[in-house]
Amino acid sequence: MNFTIKKALIAVTNGYTSLDVQVTNGIITAIGENLAVIGTEINGNNKLLLPGFFNAHTHSSEKWQRGIIPPLPLELWLAHLYDFAPLDTEQVYLSALGTAVETLLSGGTSVVDHLVLIPGKELETITTAVRAYQEVGIRAFIAPLIQDESLTAGMPGGKSLPEHESYFRPTAETLAIIEEAVIKFHHPESGINILVAPTGTQLCTDALFTGCIELSDRYNLCRHTHLLETKAQEKLAAEKYGCTAVEHLNKIGFLNNKTSLAHCVWLTDTDTKILAETQSTVVHNPLSNLRLGSGIAPILKYIQAGVNVTFGCDGASSNDSQDLLEAIKIGSILHNVTDIDYQHWITTRQAVEMAALGGAKGLGLDDQLGSLTVGKKADLVLYDLTNLSLLPRTDPIGLLVLGRPVNVVDYAWINGKQIIANGQFTTVNIDELRTELFNRSQWETREKSPGLGQIEPHYRQVMGL
């Protein structure tokens, strides 16, 4: 679809200006004053136009457990998650749909779904997520979550536990599933990308990491993993490698300019230098880090060292929402308490750039996405500045980042295709989605999971509690 946005507010160096934007065949073809209308005319009056943001790390199926897991650190929280994981592809479909919708309603046009696979139905799970994302029309980066160690291995000393068992699926089989998914679904031009995404050093062998590196080289894929989210993982890396996890990943060649790393809470100064040198991207998930007590990632240090940083919501059971604007707000102002020098603090404009261009960079797409630039793909969001939550009028980006915007996305396009118009989805029926999510769930509370009882004493002991 070709269209022209007339008189939208666009951020320029010293403020804002009202400009027209032409989009032809999915590409931004002109930005300027008084442009001729090509295709449909969109009234941009009193609306702010920004490039779409990236929800650069999430796990869509966690939506089924949002709000229910008690306050626990990651290692114990995971026991709950594993014990009650959805095993039904229809649930996978609905949670992927819901994750995409919530991301879009908070300014995101791309999602990196570190997708939990149903055992025995791995390809079916990926097929289902692809279907959901294609229906919504979001730009999807599906990163099938793989590991080849069982949960107990994820804790320091965990392998010595009597409960420790080897993982149910051999490493080569897991890699074969990913290769099949790549061959079937990796079509960047149509908006579906497959990533190699070992869950993290804590639950993966070098054989799995190396196999992922080979696949990513062979098929030109981005790489994604969790990295040093918790203190326990820092301890485990020392135990497993005799060096830090970053040093180890660098040694085996996992880090490059298409590698994005979720969390990065417990990095040394040397680790930070390695990320800058390898041009790896840090995905900051502030709400999840607070919810699970993982710590505050030293984001200001990363930025000063020249590391690219972007934002993610993380899965909806450690957040417990998929509101990208909320993650951007908390992910920016959280760091004001970590550095007394306010000149290092993240400005609202910087936050928006991290969420858009930073996200694109993390996926090696900064030449195609992430800014309002002629020649880039039209992944665009138009915000309604007359919405009550953005009034009275002050700095539009300040209101968006520091405020509490509610239902402010008026229009959204991905690859030039209209996904939201006048605040309503044009691709999916939200009322049907609400009905399905309601009917397939119930009001409930939850006691301790069986898995938690098995590992909690060990966790307390190794963490000195």
CB of 37 to Zn ion, least distance (A): 44
Strand-pair partners of 53: 108
Which residue shows structure tokens 């980042």? 401
Tally Cβ neighbours within 10 Å of residue 364: 19
- Write the DSSP symbol of residue 358: I
- Of the pair 78, 246, the CB lying nearest Zn ion is at 78
Contact 205, 213 (CB under 8 A): no
- Mode of pairing for the β-strands spanning 108-113 and 53-58: parallel
- Of the pair 91, 318, the CB lying nearest Zn ion is at 318
Distances (CA, A) of 315 to 58, 225, 229, 436, 439: 5, 14, 14, 20, 22
- Of the pair 28, 78, the CB lying nearest Zn ion is at 78
CB of 229 to Zn ion, least distance (A): 8
CB of 3 to Zn ion, least distance (A): 36
**Structure tokens belonging to residue 107:** 């300014």
CA–CA separation, 331 and 284 (whole Å): 7
Strand-pair partners of 292: none
- Of the pair 42, 324, the CB lying nearest Zn ion is at 324
- Of the pair 263, 329, the CB lying nearest Zn ion is at 263
CB of 62 to Zn ion, least distance (A): 9
**419 Cβ contact list (under 8 Å, min separation 6):** 104, 109, 136, 137, 138, 412, 413, 425, 426, 427
- Of the pair 262, 354, the CB lying nearest Zn ion is at 262
- Of the pair 203, 419, the CB lying nearest Zn ion is at 203
Contact 138, 103 (CB under 8 A): yes
CB of 58 to Zn ion, least distance (A): 7
- Of the pair 102, 314, the CB lying nearest Zn ion is at 314
CB of 291 to Zn ion, least distance (A): 12
CB of 38 to Zn ion, least distance (A): 42
Distances (CA, A) of 305 to 269, 274, 287: 9, 10, 23
Which residue shows structure tokens 């797409």? 365
Q: What is the per-residue DSSP string for 159-194? A: GGSTT--B-SS-HHHHHHHHHHHHHHH-BGGGTEEE
Contact 230, 294 (CB under 8 A): yes
- Of the pair 326, 384, the CB lying nearest Zn ion is at 326
CA–CA separation, 289 and 314 (whole Å): 9
Point out which residues bind Zn ion (CB under 5 A).
314
- Of the pair 29, 318, the CB lying nearest Zn ion is at 318
CB of 327 to Zn ion, least distance (A): 13
Measured in degrees and rounded to the nearest 5, phi and psi for residue 142 equal -90, 120
CB of 328 to Zn ion, least distance (A): 17
Tally Cβ neighbours within 10 Å of residue 32: 10
CB of 155 to Zn ion, least distance (A): 17
- Residue in the shown chain whose Cβ atom is closest to Zn ion: 314
CB of 59 to Zn ion, least distance (A): 6
CB of 183 to Zn ion, least distance (A): 26
- Of the pair 314, 353, the CB lying nearest Zn ion is at 314
Tally Cβ neighbours within 10 Å of residue 460: 11
- Of the pair 326, 353, the CB lying nearest Zn ion is at 326
CA–CA separation, 50 and 369 (whole Å): 12
Contact 305, 276 (CB under 8 A): yes
C-alpha count within 13 angstroms, C-beta hemisphere, residue 58: 36
CA–CA separation, 276 and 302 (whole Å): 8
**Structure tokens belonging to residue 180:** 């099949």
